[in-house]
Amino acid sequence: MFFLNSAIGYHAIWSHNHEIANLLSKKWKVFWIDPVKVKGYPHFEQINTETNISNVKVINRGIFVKKLGIWYLLKSEYESIKHFLKLKKDVKYFVNYSPLGNFFAFLLAKLFRKKVISFYVDDYIALAQNKFAKFFYKITLPIRFYFSSEIFVTAKILEEVPQKYNKNIHYSPNGVNLKKIKIGTPKKLGVIKRVWFVWALWNWIDWDIIIELSKKYTDIAFDIVGNWEIYWFLEKQKKQYNLKNLNLYWFKPHKEALDIISKTEITIIPFKVNDITDAVSPVKLFEYWSLGKTTIVSNTLELKQFDKEIFIYKNKKDLFSIIEKIQNNTEIVYNKSLVAIEKLKDFDWSGNLWKNILNIILKK
């Protein structure tokens, strides 16, 4: 049995956590522990405990706090310990995704000689939104790294810190399950009419560049799907500059978002380049590829390896040049989409990506 501490609610956005849980459930029982619900954080949402997979059981903590902080930490720690102690006789593997709120359950799992698997999927210290969280991560992450049986990282740069404490580090980027997705067919385009972006609308996205694009290329529709406070900022910008080609959509269920993207010509991931984004392997990139769409991205460390499959820009001038280039020659969009679909085989959860992870988890 697997005890999986998730950083995301099971019924929120699709994630690396979900792929692992669903694939493990083919042979084993998986207890998915939802995070404590926090006001204003849709990805912590606890809708219900139902799943369409018999071997995945969602444990809804049924607790709500107003903000991330010490109270959230204490409630999360208590709930993680409580559920682990209830299930410890049957649990063989403790899978940890959430860096906040299950530290003592993690130590208990090690004390009870469970195999502890850690997934390090973001630069948590850079991501921390307050001094307390930064302090907590600086103290606890080295301990987690040291006592983990195996550590999986989703970006190359994330290997650097855990390597100081543990030799069992494995690079495992995001991907898609090609058995569950109908691969899109790249189409030859006459003109670029729509550019799509689907993401959580956080401040590590360069929203100013989206506004600039909308102002400059009024004949292209820029469609943004997401949530959080940046949504309201974009809405104000849309009204202020009368950007009729900037279309904003609130949070969409995963399947609905994919259906929307399938109707566009090209997608964009406009990251700011910093410690947070350098450590991101965006699952949306691989989902875009699976739909037959190539992508325009900023030059973060993790994404530079895909220069044949995507368009990479260094600054605003560079981005404008790419837009004009593809407007005048849509054949290159088609060609990159073909290369991206071929490359996607290396990032298939139903293929080698999953087999490598499973072999590592199960090794003695």
In the chain, what are the domains? 2-175+349-362 (3.40.50.11010), 194-347 (3.40.50.2000)
Q: For residue 131, is pLDDT > 70? A: yes
More confident residue, 51 or 128: 128
At 253, which amino acid appears? P
More confident residue, 280 or 49: 280
Q: For residue 152, is pLDDT > 90? A: yes
> Looking at residue 49, what is its pLDDT?
57
Q: For residue 231, is pLDDT > 60? A: yes
Residue 185 burial (C-beta neighbours within 10 Å; 0-12, 13-18, 19+)? exposed
CB under 8 A, 24+ apart: contacts of 15-22: 15/283, 16/97, 16/119, 16/121, 16/154, 16/174, 16/283, 17/97, 17/119, 19/175, 19/177, 19/349, 19/354, 20/95, 20/119, 20/357, 21/56, 22/53, 22/56, 22/177
Please state the rounded mean pLDDT for residues 66-70: 70
Whether the CB-CB separation of 32 and 57 falls below 8 Å is answered with yes
pLDDT, tens digit (0-9, with 9 covering 90-100), for 248-299: 887 777 777 777 777 788 889 999 999 999 999 988 899 899 989 899 999 9
> Looking at residue 65, what is its pLDDT?
66
pLDDT, tens digit (0-9, with 9 covering 90-100), for 81-123: 999 999 999 999 999 988 877 899 999 999 999 999 999 998 9
Percentage of the chain lying above the pLDDT 70 cut: 90
> Looking at residue 62, what is its pLDDT?
63
Structure tokens at 177: 């399950």
Average pLDDT, whole number, for the chain? 85
> Looking at residue 259, what is its pLDDT?
79
> Looking at residue 352, what is its pLDDT?
77
Residue 62 region, left (φ>0) first, then alpha (ψ -120 to 50), else beta?
left
pLDDT, tens digit (0-9, with 9 covering 90-100), for 305-357: 999 999 999 999 999 999 999 988 889 999 999 999 999 989 988 877 888 88
pLDDT, tens digit (0-9, with 9 covering 90-100), for 7-35: 777 766 667 787 888 888 888 999 888 77
